[in-house]
Structure formats: C-alpha cells, structure tokens
Structure 1
Amino acid sequence: MSKVEQNTKLDLERIVFIGRTFEEYMDMFSLSMEELKGKRILDCPAGACSFTAVGNKLGLDVTACDIAYYHSIEDLENKGLQDIEHAMEHMEKAKNNYMWDDFKDIEGLREHRLRALKDCVNDMREANERYVPVTLPSLPFKDAEFDMILSAHFLFMYADRLDYQFHITTLKELLRVSKEEIRIFPLVDLEGKRYEYLDHLVSYLTESGCTVEEVKVPYEFQKNANSMLKIKI
C-alpha cells in the first residue's frame, strides 16, 4: 500500500460521500445524449454520483475518479447512508437557502440522494475498474485521454479551504487529460456567493489558449448555483 493510500484510508471521516443523480448531471451541465455519445467522459471528482453508473448502462463511456475510491465499497456505502441522514438534518435548518421546485421537500431530496448512492455502489461492485482513486491535484491519466471532463460541487464550492493555487494546479491537470472540453458547476461557494477569483481564473484560461464561457443551466437547487464554466480546449 502506498503512502497516499494509507493517508486517505485514515481520512474516511473527512470525506463526504453524497452524490447527484444522472438526471441532475444532465441539467447541471446542460448536456444532451447526442453530444455525449462516442466521447470518453471523466467525472472528477465523482463521489457517490450515479452519472457513471447510469451513463454506461445507456451506452456512454464514462469513468469516475475520486479520493473516496481508496476505501472499500462497503465502507463507502455505510458512510454514504450516514452522510445522507446527516445532510438531511442540516437541510431542515437551512432549507430557505435552497430551491425546492424539483425535489418538492426534504423526503424527495433524500430519495434522490439514496438512489444516486445505490446506483453508484452497485456499479462499483459490477465494474470497479471504472472507479479510479485519485488525490487531486494529481491525476493518473494520460495526456488528452478524455474528450470531456465534468467537475461538480468541488472546486469553487470549497473556496474557504482550497486556495486559488490549488484551483489553478487542478485546472492545469484537468486541461492536461482533456482533449476537447471541461465543464465546472457551480460557480459559487457554499454560501452561494460567486467564487471571488473566478475572473482571474478565466483570464488565466484565456491566456492559455482556451475559450471560456459562463453558461446558465436548467438546474438550481442551492440559490444562485445555476451556471457553469464551459472551457473549450
């Protein structure tokens, strides 16, 4: 076992293993099946999302990567169930910060999160090679290995604990393994405020030769979290 694996195994309590459904991903990233077919897609970091599980069953070519995958499937499933219950308790207190059009209520949200977790862990049992353990900002993939990379609820959300340099280093690595496009959602932090260094980051990407666009998407659960960054390589 490598030092990285030893360290991450010790950190299971610090990992939140909660995911979104395939349908949520399609809306968060404003995707259609037509534009996904025939492409190699990476979900990074994927957590307990069901995009990889459902996508592959629908004939797509999706790989998931996350620091959580250093842990056993059984541990992750148990952690996911605990995390969902913990999150639902928190949601009860903070529900005014969210839009409930799609989920209706907390029970509806719980059902979505449980479905995503179930689809994810079942697929991990059937096709574990699709779930690659990684420790960002480093990725174990070849240059331009994926046509499209999707990155949800990670980079800008945790601006309070992941600094600008981490964002830049991670983006460089995503650019390295991507051939065509990267989409990042959302563009706000946990308080719903636009990531303060987003304009700097867009300038960096533009100067690196990328075409960058902020795109409104048909998904808004956390208030103000309704746009993504679309980066064309």
Structure 2
Amino acid sequence: MSKVEQSTKLDLERIVFIGRTFEEYLDMFLLSQEDLEGKKILDCPAGACSFTAVGNTFGFDITACDIAYYHAAEDLKIKGLQDITYTMKHMEKAKNIFVWDYYNDVKDLRKHRQSALENCTTDMARSNGRYVPVTLPSFPFEDGEFDIILSAHFLFSYADRLDYNFHVETIKELLRVTNEEIQIFPLVDLEGKRYKHLDKLICFLADIGCTVQEIKVSNEFQKHANSMLKIIKGK
C-alpha cells in the first residue's frame, strides 16, 4: 500500500461494536416504512444498530443477530461507547474520504452513533429474544424464516480479513433462511474500492437461480459507498 493510500484509509484495526439509526437504514436500503409492513425481517449482523429497537416500536417484526450478542447488553454499551470514541478519532484523521452531506461534522456523526447504541442496548436489555447471538457463517434459524434480510457494513467492508469463501458460505446461509430477498450495503471495502470478487459472486448467485441487482442509493457517507446489492431468491 502506498503512503497516499495509507493516509486516506479509515484505519480500523478491529471490527467495532458501532451502529446506524433506523432512519439511516431506510436511506441505505431505499426502504420506506410501508416496505416493512407485514414482513419478517432479519438484520445481520446488526451490531449496535437501532433498526430493530426503533422498528419494533412501530410494530414491525424485526430480529437482530450478531456475534456480539453473546455478551450482556450492559457490557456491550460500555464497549460501544469506547468504540465510538476510538472511531471518531480516526474520522478526524480521515475526513477527506467521506461525504459530509448527511452529517454536519464529526460531532453530529457521534450523536447518531450514540443514539443508535443507546436505543439498541436499552432494547436488548428488555427484549424477548429479538437479539440472537450467531457465529457466521452459521445461523440458528429455520429455512425461509424471514422475508427480507438486511446486511450493512460487514461482508464487503472487511474484505481484507473475510475471504471469498466466507462471503459465499455466509450468503448461502442467508439465502437458506430467507424466502424472498437479501440486501447488502455497501459494495466497497474500507478504502472505498469495489469488492474485488463481486462480479464472480454475482455470477455464482445467477448460476444458482438468484436475480441480482446493483442499485444506487442516495446515502453516500464513505466515498463510493453508494450502491447496494439486492439478491432475490430463486423459486
């Protein structure tokens, strides 16, 4: 990696417990609340996102899963606050690789992340099994249990540490537990580069009968992170 690349990469040394708000999810996946009505939805991996917490207050049927959920909500809140502080320091150093339209500045971004964490961990502490611990690429769910699966800021984001086989096995499991579709956002890694095996993966999905679309979205915070992958399960 060149010195220029080193100076512009968001250098996260670990996958952090940090999340987006319900409203950010709607923007990332081009969803309206009407799209969620009557659907059984899985957020995977959900991290500290408040999509499940807020969505269920509106009466939607949303389940979250993540490896982090093997730990207590109180412990995750402490970790999340530490991770927000850690991440914001790196944000200050790498402002130039982000588009500051949705958020006013790093301070405003911090507020969104803290809000998501607070809603998530509060709901987790009182929920009736909506937060399911998983170790990818395996899931404890039934075949076709969900209608829509949303997966944000994980699979392609960490392409430097999750190999192609992991992506294939995880998506195969996601296909097993959905009866309709999977949506993945974004399609780039932490350097803003398109996932190098994406075309190969799309061909694999087409070969097993899926319909795959790359769809532009209006939400672009990380530069070039403005597309999602919609995978419609073959019948």
* Aligned ranges 1:36-185 → 2 under 5 Å: 36-185=36-185
In the alignment, does 2:207 pair up with 1:207? yes
Question: What SS does the corresponding residue of 2:147 show, helix, strand or coil?
Answer: strand
- 1:189 aligned to 2:189? yes
Structure 1 residues 97 and 226, CA gap change in structure 2 (3 angstroms): same
Which residues of structure 1 form unaligned runs of 5+? 1-12
The alpha carbon displacement at 1:16 in A equals 1.2
Matched with 1:226 is: 226
Task: State how far apart, in whole Å, the 2-side matches of 1:15 and 1:27 are.
Answer: 23
Per-residue Cα deviation, 1:172-223 (whole angstroms, up to 9, x for no partner): 0000000001000000001000000000000000111011000001100000
Q: Distance in 2 between matches of 1:149 and 1:218?
A: 20
Instruction: Report the equivalent of 1:6.
Output: none
Q: Report the 3-state secondary structure (helix = DSSP H, G, I; strand = E; otherwise coil) of the residue aligned with 1:124.
A: helix
- Give the share of equivalent positions with the same residue, in percent: 70
2:133 maps to amino acid: P
CA shift at 1:14, angstroms?
5.5
The secondary structure found in structure 1 opposite 2:81 is: helix
Contact 2:182/2:232 (<8 A) preserved: yes
Q: Deviations over 1:123-156 (max 9, x none)?
A: 1112151000000000000000000000000001
Q: Counting helix residues as a fraction of each chain, which structure ranks higher?
A: 1
Q: Secondary structure at the match of 1:104?
A: coil
Could you list the structure 1 runs, at least 4 aligned residues long, displaced by more than 4 angstroms after superposition.
none
Q: In structure 1, what is the equivalent of residue 9 of structure 2?
A: none
Structure-2 residue corresponding to 1:216: 216
How many Å separate the matches in 1 of 2:176 and 2:141?
Answer: 9
Q: Is the 8 A contact 2:73 2:122 kept in 1?
A: no
* Count of residue pairs brought into register by the alignment: 221
1:15–1:68 CA contact under 8 A, matched in 2: no
Which residue identity is paired with 2:18?
I
The two structures have a TM-score, normalised by structure 1, of 0.93
Letter in 1 for 2:129: E
The answer on whether the counterparts of 1:214 and 1:230 sit within 8 Å (CA) in structure 2 is: yes
Distance 1:120 1:134 in 2: 17
User: Aligned partners of 1:182, 1:66: CA distance in 2, in Å?
Assistant: 16
One-letter amino acid of the structure 1 residue matched with residue 65 of structure 2: C
CA distance in 2, matches of 1:206, 1:229: 13
Q: Structure 2 unaligned runs (5+)?
A: 1-12
Q: Please tell me the residue identity of whatever aligns with 2:209.
A: G
Deviation at 1:97, TM superposition (A): 0.5
Residue identity opposite 2:67 in structure 1: I
Q: Does 1:35 align with 2:72?
A: no
Residue 20 (structure 2) pairs with residue 25 (structure 1) = no
CA distance in 2, matches of 1:218, 1:54: 22
Mapped to 2, the partners of 1:102 and 1:157 lie a distance apart of 20
TM-score (norm 2): 0.92
Distance in 2 of aligned mates of 1:70 and 1:161: 22
SS at 2:109 equivalent: helix
CA distance in 2 between partners of 1:98 and 1:106 (Å) = 11
Match of 2:8 in 1: none
How far did 1:170 drift?
0.3
Task: Output the amino acid matched with 1:91.
Answer: M
Q: Structure 1's 120 and 138: CA in aligned 2 closer, same or farther, altered over 3 A? A: same
The answer (yes or no) to whether the contact 2:156–2:187 under 8 Å persists in 1 is yes
